[in-house]
Structure formats: C-alpha cells, structure tokens
Structure 1
Amino acid sequence: MKMDRWSIGRVVLTGDAAWCASPISGMGTSLALVGAYVLAGELGRHEDHAEAFAAYERIMRPYVEQAQDVPKLGPRIAQPQTRTGIALQQAALSLATKPGLSRLAGKLLSPPADRIHLPDYGHDAIMQSALEGMVP
C-alpha cells in the first residue's frame, strides 16, 4: 500500500493502515514499532497536531519507502500461480534452509531495519524524573 498522505485533519494512520510493506520484506513489526515511537514522540514535541503529523511523515517516509522496495520477483515467488512457479518456490525454499545461503539472501533481499535515525524524545529525562519520584 502506498499513500500520498498519512493524515487528514485530526486523523493519522500508522502501521499497515498507512504503508503496509510486503510480507516478504520482513519489516512489518519494525515499521509498526518505529512508527508508533515516532508518532508518539512528535505528538509530545509539537503543540499543534498538524505539525506533529507532518514531522512524523517526514521522518518515517524514507524508512517506509526502503521497506516497500522489494525485488519484483519476490511476490511472484511467494505467491506462485503456475506449476512452474510452485516448483521455483519450492526450490527457493529449499535453498533458504541452507545456513550460509539464508544469511546471504537475508542481506540481499531484506531492507535493513536500522536504516533510520530515531530522534531522542527525551525519554531519559522522563525516566530520571520518574525514578527520582520513587526515591523516599
């Protein structure tokens, strides 16, 4: 799913509702967690929700686009429609069980989960304040 905008008015989308990367990207959980973190952080950083939504999208969009960039052949192998396709899928799955080949394929085919610079929303200060409040 590729949308031009992830928000309108006071409504914002995140996770699969906003960008649903291909299941073969292996990035669904990473995108969901990072998206929630960034959205919450930007809402805390900005008083105006429209500014927060714009900042959230500005930070997330490049990361999402990388995750959505899967090889064109990937979905065809994952969901074969012919006998030849099924045979190719079985061959690919057989190769994927080989330890060295599976690591190489993961590096070549999976978008890197660490290709985003996560902003520091001051959680250390919040945790420090909470801990100080617990000390008698």
Structure 2
Amino acid sequence: MRQATGIVAVETKGQGFTDVTHEITRWAGEAGMREGLLTLFIRHTSASLLIQENADPAVLDDLRDALDRLAPRDGGWRHDAEGPDDMPAHIRAALTQTHLAIPLIGGRLALGIWQDIYVVEHRDRSHRRELALHLLGE
C-alpha cells in the first residue's frame, strides 16, 4: 500500500457551487496509483463538499434554494458575529458534507458520468477554501 497527501486551495466566488473535479482528478492522477480510495476533507465550518449532477445547472440552483429555505438569513439566529450569513452558513455546512470518499479504479476516480465534485460556499462573499486530500492505494 502507498499513500499520498496534499492540500488543494479553491477560490470561491461567494455563495454557490465551485466545481473542483478537474483539480481533484489531476491531483489523483499525479499520485500514480491504479486502485485505492481518495478521501477529501474541507477545512472550514461554513463551506462543504458535495458530489452532484453536472448536466443540468437547474439542479444546483434548486439545491441552493432548498438550503436557503432550510437555513434562512432572517432566522433569528443568536450567532451573528460575522454578519447575517454567518449562522446560516454553519447550518448549511452541517446539513451537507465536510468529507467525501471516492474509489480509484483503474487509475481513475469512480465518479458517474453525471457526477462532479463541488465545494459549496455558504457565505455571501468569496473565500479561499482548503481541501485536505488523502489517497490510499497501489
């Protein structure tokens, strides 16, 4: 068994979905393994990770709308130290995922044809987000 670790930085543009599939696929390919398991972990509490459909942009729009309904900015939250988008961002991150596990088969990530990997920014303004990656395999 071999392993590889790394950090990938992602610049978001504010609330929404940033496709990181290309960067993650490139990183995994450079590790030179054929079989294994890639774990991704986002090092933040107001952003998250999702594997989601890449074909119809309306899917991401509907997901954003659903998260807005589940954690609205005007929800009367006590924690508002960094503004009205702060606590809703924490709730949205808690409802989604902070880590993903993706098999590596034949040297390629085993994503489905309609799947991409997204960093979900839950804050209103842009941020630099970091993903910790760990690939275990051979």
**TM-score over 0.5 for the alignment?**
no
Higher Cα Rg, which structure: 1
Greater helix percent: which structure?
Answer: 1
TM-score (norm 1): 0.30
TM-score (norm 2): 0.30
